[in-house]
Amino acid sequence: MQRTNFSDMTCSIARTLDVVGEPWSPLIIRDVWVGITRFDDIQRDLGISRKVLTERLQWLVAHGVLRRRQYSDRPPRYEYELTDKGDEFCDVLMAITAWGDRWTAGEAGPPVLVRHRGCGEYVHAEVRCSHCGERLRATDVDHEAGPGALDQPEPK
Amino acid sequence: MQRTNFSDMTCSIARTLDVVGEPWSPLIIRDVWVGITRFDDIQRDLGISRKVLTERLQWLVAHGVLRRRQYSDRPPRYEYELTDKGDEFCDVLMAITAWGDRWTAGEAGPPVLVRHRGCGEYVHAEVRCSHCGERLRATDVDHEAGPGALDQPEPK
DNA sequence: CGACTGGGTTCCTTCAAGCAACTGACTTAG
DNA sequence: CTAAGTCAGTTGCTTGAAGGAACCCAGTCG
């Protein structure tokens, strides 16, 4: 874990990054999401050291993002699956994918296409207002202190 | 920067995390977004070491997420602002905020409320389909190899 | 029994973050 | 003019996390 304790910050972004703020965790969650759920398969797919994968998986399980599911009794064998908490983190992954497709894919184009089962099209994630449904851009919103804020008047 | 070269991976998530995959960069971008744009103000707000802040800022400028803007000629003084690339990363930050509000805020509730200028309500980011506008959840999409994929048949 | 699979664990090295002090450019007040 | 203050870094050292490689254990199967 990072040395700075981001979970102590009064900021949802920082607290989230405390759980998934290094690169491997989002990639592991992504792998589990697309069906790569076993230790060796994840390790092979990501090229991550077994030690770090073990630690990340334990961390993500401890933080309720993943859970282990036994898929074999003899011998006892486990795979990982997303919890609801992990499921909803995929919103973030989709937003990251959309940004990455736009700014890091270069000439080759996106490595992965996202097809929406509902409409059948290749789509990307759009961030929209939960109330009126309009596109939410950086300049469309104001930040105000919420109930969980400290007594600081400044937005964080 | 991390030792693993995530930019070499054929994966938009990994390439994005190569640029912003440690906790400080998203927090710095968030600060600049909400108007905390000067070195000392960012440093004070985040409690980050001056050394790391310098490095992160230089990195983000080099990767086109931030740019420096001179706000004083005598003495020469700079502040940081979002590029278009950085602007669009705020979509990711809004998705992170929504997830964090839901899963990390606890009893206190969200520290920051997001008010949509368009409809005036306190809202959160919803990830929706760019084509039909429906909510996009983890189980609503399929991943398929795209033009930038290697010759692997597996989704990444 | 040996080979293999699955899922780790251990040890050592390297690198990035944290801390504290320092630096340089510039301005302003006494 | 000098000293103090602001701004934006830079430097040196320590510490913790990641990477790499080897190793380990439990269990199954031929």
* Closest partner CB to A126 (pick from B116, B130, B137): B130
Each residue of A96-136: pLDDT tens digit? 999 999 999 988 899 999 999 999 999 999 999 999 999 99
DSSP code string of B46-113: HT--HHHHHHHHHHHHHTTSEEEEEEETTTTEEEEEE-HHHHHHHHHHHHHHHHHHHHT-GGG--SEE
Residue ranges of domains in chain B, CATH in brackets: 6-140 (1.10.10.10)
Taking 50 as the pLDDT cut, the residues of chain B under it are: 1, 152-156
Residues of B in contact with A99 (CB under 8 A): 12, 16, 88-89, 91-92
Residue-wise pLDDT tens digits, B60-93? 999 999 999 999 988 889 999 999 999 999 999 9
Interatomic distance B19 CA / D21 C1' (Å): 29
Average pLDDT over residues A79-85: 97
In the predicted model, is pLDDT for residue A1 greater than 80? no
Residues A65-80 have a mean pLDDT of 93
Taking the model in full, what pTM does it have?
A: 0.93
Q: What is the ipTM for the molecules in this complex?
A: 0.93
Which residue in B15, B131, B156 is closest to A121 by CB distance? B131
